[in-house]
Amino acid sequence: MQKTGVRVSVTVVIPARYGSTRFAGKPLAMICGKMMIQRVYENAAACPLVDRVVVATEHEAVAAAVAGFGGCVCMTSPNHATGTDRIAEAVRNDDADIIVNVQGDEPLLPPEAIETAIHPILRESTIQMTTLKTRIRNPDEVHNPNVVKVVTDRNGFALYFSRAPIPCAVSHEPDVCWYRHVGLYAYTRRFLETFAALPQTQLEKAERLEQLRALEHGYPIRVVETDYEPVGVDVPEDIVLVENRIRRAANIQQ
């Protein structure tokens, strides 16, 4: 990939914890006959801007599964507090210019979403971190704390992320809409090193959203809108929702 005439390399890292409190062994869950981690890996590898994909895990079972389908895996410490810390360890010896954090529980994330997150860093030298948002169309999601909301300024930079409804819209303005945060991040390598070294912040701990650490320390996050509507897997019951969407898409293509 070229950026102003210079070759730029991109590595996608997929943090995949086996020991999830709500869904132990989640990366190995089967979805329409294929492991979730394999689906995430193959979607990331299909992005034309990506040079390398690696799974960062703390568990031998996940590592063996990834090796079994021919993927690249990095064993990391089981003691990391956040996914960013795990990613920083995984790329310690990687010389990529851009690092992309793709969540291991987003088996439907399309390659185009990764490309959308990378482009701002390629176009503007001042952008160090990006993420995605998508418009909320289901009103129930606005008040769902498991659906993270984001508000941005007029230039597309994040003002705040929250599990609460933002904006509150007490005036009932007809033009107000809500945006869901899509948990994918792209960083310059240098900024990832800076970000991982920053101390955790009060808002980050209160909301349990590590991207707030960057905002609280004064680092801007470019947020790009996408049409992709996430269907993440948090608990075993979510597998059915993902499989239903896969089957619907297959029927449409036939």
> By the 8 A CB rule, do 1 and 208 touch?
no
* Torsional sign, CA 101, 106, 111, 116: negative
Reduced to 3 states (helix: H, G, I; strand: E, B; else coil), residue 63 is helix
Instruction: Pick the closest to residue 96 from 1, 216, 222 (CA basis).
Output: 1
pLDDT classification of 5: cutoffs 50, 70, 90: low
Domain encompassing residue 65: 2-253
- Name residue 66's amino acid: V
The β-bridge relationship of strands 6-7 and 34-35 is: unpaired
pLDDT classification of 16: cutoffs 50, 70, 90: very high
Q: What would the mean pLDDT of 59-66 be, rounded to a whole number? A: 96
Domain count, the chain: 1
Q: From CA 75, how far away is CA 190, in angstroms rounded?
A: 22
pLDDT classification of 173: cutoffs 50, 70, 90: low
CATH number at residue 162: 3.90.550.10
The whole model's pTM is what? Answer: 0.92
User: What single-letter DSSP state applies at residue 122?
Assistant: H
pLDDT tens readout for residues 94-116 = 999 999 999 999 999 999 999 99
| Biggest distance spanned by C-alpha atoms of the chain | 55
